[in-house]
Amino acid sequence: MINKYPFTNNVIDCLDSGVFVIDKDFTVHLWNDYMAIRCQFTSDDIVGLNLLDCFPNLPRKWFERNIKSVFILKSPAYSSWEQRAYLFKFPHGRSVTGGVDFMYQNCCFTPVFGQDNNVEYICVTIKDVTDIAIATMKLKDTVMELKRINSIDGLTQLYNRSHWEKCFQNEVSRVNRYEHQVSLVMFDMDFFKKINDQYGHLCGDEVLRQVAIRCTESLRLSDVIGRYGGEEFCVFLPETDLNGAAYIAEKLRHIICDTPVYYNSIAVSISASIGFTCSRSSNNNHEKLIHEADTALYAAKNSGRSQCVSFFDCDV
């Protein structure tokens, strides 16, 4: 590779980026100081050698594919750290790692043309973007955590009403589209105000937390439970008919009622009234199903509490 300007190499060595030039056989023709400082090869060591032989741990297929595309298309190619974290396993040089082991890199593959307008060489530049990568990943984690917090009830760690209802609406849309089935169970803690009045609101909070834990542990992974408000909870059961909903409702009732909640060494007896319903063959509406389960829930309360009632058994 002929250099028309004797100062070019000095300029390239001053760059705060890795720069090297290879031909179609991956023979190295230029290797700047940035690259030499971060690996075991100086320019004198590596120029004239095959890059892939010198760095057997490079992502060979990916690298060859990018180089080949530049030779064929005669246009630059670019790869960000989000596509591939790094080309070379260079140290990042950060005193605080941010949880990363190597330097995150953006790579640019630029064609170098000869006199016949064909690509003779490719100039590869390596830019250290570790700080940007760490900041971006932390931002993404923060956004994800904010989304999680925004969807979770702080006391019970279940989905809050807004997020649960959105999930249920999506499930009902899926049921209508594919003619599947979904059931809905709603339950309310019996005489919850008396618990708060007798033992205090902190005890009431513990009751709600324990009920959430018991129910979550007893449900299937596909079932989605949320705190609907106050002491009322709701669960939708994908791919579940009315008989299945009746079984789950009774199972939940026993899990809630059979064991007291202990607060400050005091056994607090609890119970729940439960209503349930299920989707029809078509044209289901999530709000209508919620209204049906709520109607059945209050029918259970009016019938003596601590029992399960199907909407289809209600006198409406």
Q: Which residue shows structure tokens 């007893």?
A: 218
What confidence category does residue 95 fall into, taking pLDDT thresholds of 50, 70 and 90?
low
Asked whether residue 3 is domain-assigned, the answer is: no
Mean pLDDT, residues 22-39? 95
Task: Using CB atoms within 10 Å of the CB of residue 309, give its burial: 0 to 12 exposed, 13 to 18 middle, 19+ buried.
Answer: buried
Catalytic residue among 165, 171, 231, 232: 231
> pLDDT tens-digit profile of 258-293?
999 999 999 999 999 999 999 998 899 999 999 999
Average pLDDT over residues 88-116: 86
> Does some domain include residue 145?
no
CA distance 29 to 97: 33
Q: Is 171 a catalytic residue?
A: no
Closest CA to 293 of 265, 314, 269, 263: 314
Average pLDDT score over the chain: 94
**Per-residue pLDDT at 158:** 98
Residues 51 and 89 in one domain: yes
Q: Are residues 175 and 219 in the same domain?
A: yes
Is residue 101 over pLDDT 80?
Answer: yes
> SS3 of 117, please?
coil
- Tell me what pLDDT residue 160 has: 97
For residue 99, the 8-state DSSP code is T
Are 72 and 120 contained in the same domain? yes
Instruction: Of 99, 100, 119, 102, give the one whose Cα is nearest residue 111.
Output: 119
| Dist CA 228 CA 249 (whole Å) | 16
Domain that holds residue 88: 8-136
